[in-house]
Amino acid sequence: MTITAEHSHPYTHGDLPRLMGLMTGDEKHGPAATSTLDVLWVLYDRVLRVGPERMGDPERDRFLLSKGHGPMAYYAVLAAKGFVPVEWLPGFGSYDSPLGHHPDRVLVPGAEIGSGSLGHGLPIAVGTALGLRAQERTEPRVWVLVGDAELDEGSNHEAIAFAGPAGLDRLHTVVVDNSSAGHARPGGIAARFEAAGWSTVTVDGRDHDALYAAFTAPHPGRPHAVVAQVEPKSD
């Protein structure tokens, strides 16, 4: 079965700031959320083959939010695409809301993993890609969104080093680079992935057409990493 990306819900990218504005509180991690907004929108609007009615479909694409400590943009996009009710957004982070400060896969429709602990998402994505390969499922793609600061965690480097030689060509990593990493990398972020045999593209993380082209670039036999550069984190 071939799955196509979903386009039917009436919300547009222009509605996302209003949807994000419904979420308030002291632990919003606003800059972290805003940095991911365009990447998330292009993925869910034009790339990912998944929708509210296909969350249990074994042939769906898997999207894993590793950068889970700033989930407002994620929740806004999930609401815009019909995964969660817009009415949930104002309760963000409250005691009885399913929309916590970190996403919970048991509570948030469409969330593939519980996230927020930095360094977990990419290793889980590697395991997911391996699991799909073991099931001989060649249709689903695995996408994971990480922040540049997460790459300070050693678990990510083990995952990067494994995935390239393993030829996990259904695996895609998007690194949102807002210059918040504590340790510089010789040659930049993409060079770390390239050294392990990944295909890489570095793009403007606000340019939707450039993001789409990077997300859909062919990479036969290799995992693919997209470094999406955005404005430096302000706080």
Residue whose tokens read 């540049």:
148
pLDDT score at 184:
60
What is the layout of strands, in order, in the sheet containing 199-204?
62-65, 142-147, 171-177, 224-229, 199-204
Instruction: Summarize pLDDT for 47-87 with one digit per residue, the tens.
Output: 999 999 999 999 999 999 998 887 999 999 999 999 999 99
Is pLDDT above 70 for 229?
yes
Backbone angles phi, psi at 228, to 5 degrees: -100, 105
pLDDT score at 28:
56
3-state secondary structure of 143: strand
pLDDT score at 13:
94
Task: Quickly state the pLDDT bin for 182 (edges 50, 70, 90).
Answer: low
pLDDT score at 144:
98
Q: How far apart are CA 223 and CA 216, in angstroms?
A: 12
Tell me which H or E stretch contains 174: strand 171-177
The CA-based angle 119-156-120, given to 5 degrees, is: 30
Is pLDDT above 90 for 227?
yes
pLDDT score at 110:
96
Single pTM value for the model? 0.92
What's the rounded mean pLDDT across residues 210-221? Answer: 98
pLDDT score at 123:
96
Question: When comparing pLDDT for 2 and 228, which is higher?
Answer: 228
What's the rounded mean pLDDT across residues 167-179? Answer: 95
Alpha-carbon distance values, 199 to 3, 103, 150, 216 (Å): 24, 29, 20, 12
Work out the percent of the chain whose per-residue pLDDT is above 90: 76
Question: When comparing pLDDT for 59 and 150, which is higher?
Answer: 59
Work out the percent of the chain whose per-residue pLDDT is above 70: 90
Instruction: Summarize pLDDT for 91-109 with one digit per residue, the tens.
Output: 999 999 999 999 999 999 9
What's the rounded mean pLDDT across residues 192-197? Answer: 96
The answer to whether 23 and 92 are in contact (CB under 8 A) is yes
Torsion of CA 68, 71, 74, 76, to 10 degrees: 170
- CB atoms under 10 Å from CB of 117, counted, come to 14
pLDDT score at 14:
93
The answer to whether 226 and 173 are in contact (CB under 8 A) is yes
> Going by DSSP bridges, is the β-strand pair 199-204/62-65 parallel, antiparallel, or unpaired?
unpaired
pLDDT score at 45:
97
